[in-house]
Structure formats: C-alpha cells, structure tokens
Amino acid sequence: MKNLLLTLLFFISTSAIPLVAQRTPPSLDCKPKMQPNVQYNLRQAQIALTENKVAVYYVVPKDAEYVQAEYDAIRNATRDIQAWFQINTGGVTYTFAFPDTVMVYRALENTSYYQDSWFFKITDEMAAQGHPIWQPGIVASLWIKSGRADGLGEGMQACDGYCGVATTAVENFPEFNYFNRCPTDPNGIMWPCVPHGTMAHELGHAFGLPHPDEVDSTREFAFHSIMRAHWNYPNGAPDNLRPWGLLTVERTTLWANPFFYEDISLKQIYDADIVNLPVTGSPPAVSFTSSINNLTVDFSNSTEDAVLYYWTFGDGSGSNEESPTHTYSSPGTYTVTLRASSESGMTAMQQQTIEVTDKKKPVAKTIHVGPIKIYPNPSTDGRFTVTFPPLPFTFRLLVHDAMGQPILDQTLSGSSRSLELDLNSFGQGVYYVRLEMRGARLTQRLVVL
C-alpha cells in the first residue's frame, strides 16, 4: 500500500468564518457514562481495512457524557452526507467501515486537554490506541463532543490520497450546542450550526478537494461549491448561488478517488442541482423511455456520450445501470430521474413521472351451492357457468344484486346439466345466487370484475 502519512496534502479549517458573541458555557458536571449497547471493541475497528472505507466515530472525552440522541443524530447525518455525495457526483459515493456506521470512542483525557488542538491530539491518541487513523484505506470522520461553543471544522488528506481525517463537533448540531450559540433567526450567522454541510465539506478535504476560491481555475465559481459555501447544504442555496453542489472538476476528482464506488445502495433523499461549472465540454443529451407492467418498470436509456449513469426512482432507491428494471413496493406516482455524465464530468438529467399500479389478477375459483358448482368466481366478463349433477327433483335458482333487486328467478328440472349465467349487462359488483330445493335455502356470493 501507499506510504503512510508521508504527505499531508492539505490541512484546511473553516474557522475563518466570523464568530458572534459567545455566551457563558454551562458547567460540565455530568459523570461520564457509557450505554452498554455501544460498547464496541477495537477488533471491530480493525475489520475492514481491505477496502477503502469511511470510519465514523462519535468521540466523547473522559469527563463528558455519552448522549444517545447525539449518537443517533450523528448516524443520521452520516447517512445523509453519503447520499448527498452520491447524487452530487452523479452516482458514486463511499461506504462505511463499521457495520453500525458509527463507533463510539471514549477519549482518554478530559475535554480541556484537547481544546488547543483537538484535531492533532485526538488523532494522535486514537492512532496510538490502535484505531485506523492515518491508515491507508481509511478516511476517518470524527464527530467530536468538543466542549467548544463554536464547534469544529477541519479536514486533511494524507497517505498519497489513501487516507484522511475530517472533524466536526457535536456542538455544530444546533440541538446539541449547549452554549446557545445557534441563531434562531434563519437569516443569522449559520456557523457553526450546519453540521451536515460542515462534515461534508471536511470530508471533501479528506478526499482531496481544495477550497475552489484558492484555485485560479475555479475562483470565479467558488460559491457554487460545498467546498466554499457549505452552509447551503443540502439545497438551501440562494438564487444567486445556484446551481449549487459540486463543481465539474470536483466531481471528476471524486470519480478518480479510491474511496468512491458505483452501485452503492442507499436511501436517496435529495434532489440536487447539477453544477456544470467550469464548463469542460458538452453535457450528454439525456433521454429514456419506460415500459410499465404492474409494479415493475423497464427503463430504456437512449442517452449518448455518457460514461456514468445514475437513476433515482422516486421511492428512495437508485441504480447505476444503463437501462435498469425496477420494481416498486407499492402502487403510486413516482418521479424518475436519470442523471448522465460525460467523460469530462459535464452532467445533465431528465425526469419522467410514472404511475404504477398493482392489478393482481384474482384467482378464479369454483363455488359450491349445495350440489351445484358455479365457475369462475370472480368473473371478469360477467359470465358464470352453473353445473349440477342429475337430481331427482326440480329446484329454483335466484340471483339478486347487492341491493336485493332480483335479476333472475328460474325453476330448473333435475334433468338439466348446466346453465350459462350472464350478468354482464348489470355491471361490475357483487351479486348473490340463491338456491332453493326441498325447503333448503343456500346463498353464495358472486363477483363480477
């Protein structure tokens, strides 16, 4: 594998964003405690180093309290960000190192010890403890319970592109910023209270993306990128910053990144702008048709000059196949989107609304009314065949509709063998057939579809 930690490609912080007045933090007098269901061991941390993966940690200092709601928010944010990358790259994203997505790391020191350099102190400590930090094959995503009112946001790539670390603080979540640092005014300063955008931005650094305003060729479009305006995540960019997401060159950089894969199945929750800035060629002309058969839809892709396809089916699932077949789990109207990208990263999309139904053909059965058989039931054309064995007596056959209105009243001799009953002209619905013989009355339900 590649050299470990020999090159630190860059180290960039988002702390240049202006700070607003900080209120007095409440005292940290909670006793550290650990939920028994998140007692991971180191062995789990060392499992999956054969592929390039993202290892997500919830880092809790010795004197801080593990909070289940924080853990849950980190797990949800982590999955959101994975989906965000998939849709904004046009169809590729990373996978996670740990089966439960987020591992808890209990830091060895108290919060105050790390305050002057969370990033280096915690990564040194975790690496020394055997966690896969700065190891080729792992980008670590650390959500740190930092004790900092203004949160954290730092990211770095190393190992010649085969490892990296991204950090964001638990305090970046507005609901966990116990310093009341997050604005309630939606037009207020959003930093640090944009945890998803911050982690996605820092992961961008860990995957090798620079700030686009620090590169000549992208300076002009920098604010259209999450690598500059991360607070717009996932799609809150004002009109003058639209389209917003990943720039063309950021997209193609991630395509070449060893952590990014096609065919990652996840719940796709976002739609997203397509950013073709800077212009690197012509976008593909995207087109497709769909053929619907009950809940299953065959898509036929006629797009030309594309190297990457990404379909979202409107039910949360997606596919990188060129012409996929998709089966919906329930009937409904869905918006299907195909994103297609050219070799140079120019992307275009096409949407189509489809309606799928679940017309299960009911199984036609024979019903028995005494010795008499009626087939098929239900009937799709209103016709029923009534058959009966030789009987030594006459009997009466009556049919009425669901409202009790008589339709047929016929007396049949015992030598009859069959009768064609045609309810077609009475329409779809439920009918009742009644048989009267020798004082007995037998009733059965008939259905016309």
Judged by the rule CB under 5 A, the positions of this chain that interact with Zn ion are: 12, 14
- Quote the least distance from Cβ 91 to Zn ion, whole Å: 24
- Min dist. Cβ of residue 119 to Zn ion (A): 13
| 358 neighbors 369 (Cβ within 8 angstroms) | no
H or E segment at 310? strand 308-312
Q: Listing from the earlier edge strand, what are the strands of the sheet with 53-60?
A: 10-13, 153-158, 163-169, 138-144, 53-60, 102-106
Closer residue to Zn ion (CB): 10 or 261:
10
Among residues 56, 20, 16, which one has the least CA distance to residue 40?
56
Query: Which residue is at the shortest CB distance from Zn ion?
Result: 12
Least CB distance from residue 196 to Zn ion, whole Å? Answer: 15
The whole-angstrom distance between residue 373's C-alpha and the CA centroid of its chain comes to 52
Helical packing angle, 195-206 and 68-88, nearest 10°: 60
Q: Which is nearer to Zn ion, 181 or 211 (CB)?
A: 211
DSSP per residue, 151-205: --EEEEEEGGGTEEEEEEEGGGSGGG-TT--S-SSTTS--TT--HHHHHHHHHHH
Give least dist CB 11 to Zn ion, A: 9
Burial of 322 (0-12, 13-18, 19+ CB in 10 A): middle
Q: If 0-12 CB within 10 Å is exposed, 13-18 middle and 19+ buried, where does residue 352 land? A: middle
Residue with Cβ nearer Zn ion (12 or 102)? 12
Identify which of residues 198 and 248 has a Cβ nearer to Zn ion in the complex: 198
To Zn ion, the closest distance from the beta carbon of 215 in angstroms equals 13
Longest distance between any two alpha carbons in the chain, whole Å = 104
**18: which 2 tokens?**
């202006």
Query: Shortest Cβ distance from residue 106 to Zn ion (Å)?
Result: 28
Q: Which is nearer to Zn ion, 12 or 446 (CB)?
A: 12
With 0-12 CB in 10 A as exposed, 13-18 as middle and 19+ as buried, what is 367? middle
Burial tier of 66 (Cβ tally within 10 Å: 0-12, 13-18, 19+): middle
Q: Rounded to an integer, what distance in angstroms lies between the CA atom of residue 378 and that of residue 384?
A: 9
Q: CB nearer to Zn ion: give 12 or 144.
A: 12
214 or 298, CB closer to Zn ion?
214
Q: At its nearest, how many Å lie between Zn ion and the CB of residue 122?
A: 18
Q: Give bridge partners of residue 325 from the DSSP assignment.
A: 298
Min. distance of Cβ 35 from Zn ion in angstroms?
33
- Least distance to Zn ion from the beta carbon of 288, Å? 37
User: Which run of H or of E encompasses 326?
Assistant: strand 325-327
Considering beta carbons, is residue 215 or 442 the nearer one to Zn ion? 215
The three-class DSSP label of residue 227 is: coil
Nearest distance from C-beta of residue 170 to Zn ion, angstroms: 19
Pick 201 or 326: Cβ nearer Zn ion: 201
| CB nearer to Zn ion: pick between 12 and 55 | 12
How far apart (Å, rounded) are the C-alpha atoms in residues 290 and 305? 20
